[in-house]
């Protein structure tokens, strides 16, 4: 029977266990979006994960949507990430960089007065996260066909910078209502060109990004992050099972390192559709505890499980799971703050 503590392969990467640290925005970068020394300590503390997937990291200044999130387009950012990666590797950890463009989930205040971009000029519902005073999302500017190629190039440049920084691979953020997800879903993509309409067209941008990053890393070091039934940031698709069957089949053909599926429990299990079409490393995530994770891996429904909040408050989560020890609760008030409180001050069992 497969255990969470068994080693496994994710494409060309060997993981020491099947417990993954999920990517989580924590807003501890500098105002210039350079990773901080505090972030170095944070990731080092959690290096026993089979794989760390870094917080979402913008591929360009156009792709930012939150204060104090890191980037990967400048030499200062690359050098700072290099210090983090070297420290994680010194503890025998493995870490992928998550590549991110938020698309319409931004505001001109964060973009030097420029309008956010999207597949179509359709606003996200709700208020912009963390900005004060509160304001609704603006109607984004629809990208021209020619501009899309430039964003694909931004992802490739970011993948190259991630290699310079020493990461073990990259994960493409195609979930949670951000730019690639906006192209995938027919509620946010009303385009009439080669990037809109049919499922094949709406997923074209994703696969161009995957293949561009694979030109740098090889497909076996490129993962893809999906939220098949996610509704965050006004996401909805009229035929999600068909959409994600196509996406999974294309990722299967490319032999990517892994597919990461974030999907809450519900009546329509799209992750099972992905599993049918994709035979590679499947990582699942959304409110798992140890018992449910063990059942999921032993049954073959997925190959690994990612944990978010539990890794925030339990830096040695792997060892706590192994010993079936009591888990610490996370302080949600410090998720998007600054400083060490609720970030690097959680105790390990040894402490």
Residues annotated as catalytic are 178
- Asked if 93 and 48 touch (Cβ cutoff 8 Å), the reply is yes
Between CA 63 and CA 102 the distance in angstroms is 5
Pairing outcome for strands 8-10 and 13-15? antiparallel
Block residue for tokens 């890191």: 70
Q: What are phi and psi of 77, to 5 degrees?
A: -65, -45
Which residues pair with residue 258 across a beta bridge?
A: 223, 281
Q: What are phi and psi of 152, to 5 degrees?
A: -60, -40
Between CA 47 and CA 173 the distance in angstroms is 21
Give the three-class secondary structure for 270.
Answer: helix
Q: Output b/e per residue, 121-159; b: 16+ Cβ within 10 A.
A: ebebeeebbeeeeeeebeebebbeeeebeebbebbbbbb
3-state helix, strand, coil in the chain (%, to 5): 35, 15, 50
Following DSSP, what letter does each residue of 173-188 receive, concatenated? Answer: E--TTSHHHHHH-TTT
HSE-up of residue 149 (Cα within 13 Å, Cβ side) = 3
């Amino acid at each position: 029977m497969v255990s969470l503590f068994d080693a496994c392969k994710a494409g060309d990467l060997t993981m020491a266990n099947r417990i993954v640290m999920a990517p989580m925005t924590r807003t501890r970068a500098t105002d210039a979006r350079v990773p901080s020394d505090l972030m170095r300590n944070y990731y080092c503390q959690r290096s026993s994960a089979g794989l760390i997937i870094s917080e979402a990291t913008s591929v360009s200044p156009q792709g930012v949507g939150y204060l104090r999130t890191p980037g990967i387009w400048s030499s200062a950012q690359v050098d700072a990430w290099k210090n983090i990666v070297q420290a994680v590797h010194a503890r025998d950890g493995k870490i992928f960089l998550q590549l991110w463009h938020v698309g319409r989930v931004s505001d001109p205040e964060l973009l030097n007065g420029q309008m956010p971009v999207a597949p179509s000029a359709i606003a996200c519902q709700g208020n912009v996260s963390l900005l004060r005073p509160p304001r609704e999302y603006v109607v984004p500017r629809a990208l021209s066909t020619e501009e899309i190629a430039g964003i694909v190039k931004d992802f490739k440049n970011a993948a190259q910078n991630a290699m310079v920084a020493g990461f073990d691979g990259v994960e493409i953020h195609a979930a949670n209502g951000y730019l690639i997800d906006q192209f995938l879903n027919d509620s946010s993509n009303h385009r009439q060109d080669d990037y809109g309409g049919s499922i094949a067209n709406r997923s074209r941008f994703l696969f161009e990004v995957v293949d561009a990053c694979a030109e740098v890393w090889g497909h076996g070091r490129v993962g893809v992050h999906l939220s098949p039934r996610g509704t965050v940031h006004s996401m909805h698709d009229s035929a999600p099972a068909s959409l994600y069957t196509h996406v999974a089949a294309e990722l299967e053909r490319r032999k990517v390192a892994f597919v990461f599926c974030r999907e809450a429990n519900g009546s329509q299990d799209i992750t099972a559709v992905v599993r049918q079409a994709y035979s590679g490393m499947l990582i699942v995530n959304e409110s798992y505890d140890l018992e449910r994770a063990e059942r999921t891996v032993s049954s073959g429904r997925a190959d690994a499980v990612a944990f978010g909040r539990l890794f925030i408050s339990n830096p040695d989560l792997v060892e706590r799971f192994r010993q079936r020890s009591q888990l610490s609760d996370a302080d949600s008030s410090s998720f998007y703050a600054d400083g060490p409180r609720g970030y690097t001050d959680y105790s390990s069992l040894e402490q």
